[in-house]
Amino acid sequence: MKSFRVSGLLLITMFFSVNAMERPKEASIEGVQASFQAIQRVYRILDEAIAAFQPRSVHVRNGKNEWPEPLTSQDQTEKGLFIDVGALPGNLFTPWGKIILRDGCLGPYLWNLAFTQHFLSHFKGTFVNGVRDSQIHQPKYYRLKQKDLDLKQHLLEQEQLGNIVTFDGLFQELSKEEFELRKGTDMMIVTQFGSTLFAIDTVDEIQLPKAELLEKKEFRKYEDMKKCWQELKAENTDH
């Protein structure tokens, strides 16, 4: 009888241990509702920016129509959100995987940058690092010479005056030392032949947990993430 009780305890212990290991990892995602709601807000901000900049020949399509769900095999985060930005907004890194924000783009380069600045004005966050897109070209990184310059307003004013505005006239290339010093700041960093990665703290009034990347080997299962995403969509029926 004594050995039976021991065996029973072992079986109970093993049962709970196995179930703990099999518990879907999404159950432990910090700030899961805030992250989901922030993603939906980002889509709306993107739509507003698209409408505002269409008269300037910046033609961007919201990626939600082509890719309505996250790509779970890429760019999962432990918690929180990152955004990958080139001349235009690129992708969100989320607990569910990569979200492709835009489908195609066309527009004058400086107006694309003005679009991105306008879009990012809804965010608070910090510059994390550069992301190299090209194996041929070495990325170069730049900052606005006048930090608080409103690019859209400036371009409109100069256009009305008949002045030609150049990239070099507005942006200063960063040295390697300056590039490193900008990490952790809220400064808008622009790149050529690559993109930049920002950790998002807030989207408008939505506060997010401190963003942390997840290693590929730790990625959550596709089935678990799809189920979690669908449940959140059902709970937030206006999305």
Q: What is the pLDDT of residues 37-68, one digit of tens each?
A: 999 999 999 999 999 988 777 778 888 888 88
| Pairs from 75-78 (Cβ < 8 Å, separation ≥ 24) | 76/214, 76/218, 76/219, 76/220, 76/225, 77/211, 77/212, 77/213, 77/214, 78/212, 78/213, 78/214, 78/218
The domain limits of the chain are 31-141+173-235
Alpha-carbon distance 97 to 75, whole Å?
5
- Direct distance between the N- and C-terminal alpha carbons of the chain, in angstroms, rounded to an integer: 58
Convert the pLDDT of each residue in 66-115 to its tens digit.
Answer: 888 888 888 889 999 999 998 889 899 999 999 999 877 677 889 999 99
pTM, whole model, 2 decimals? 0.82
Task: Specify the amino acid at residue 168.
Answer: D
For residue 108, is it left (φ>0), alpha (ψ between -120 and 50) or beta?
A: beta
* pLDDT at position 69: 85
- Report residue 59 as tokens: 């033609």
DSSP 38-82: HHHHHHHHHHHHHHHHGGGT-EEEETTTT--S-BTTS-BEEESEE
Convert the pLDDT of each residue in 178-224 to its tens digit.
Answer: 999 999 988 789 887 778 999 999 999 999 999 999 888 888 888 88
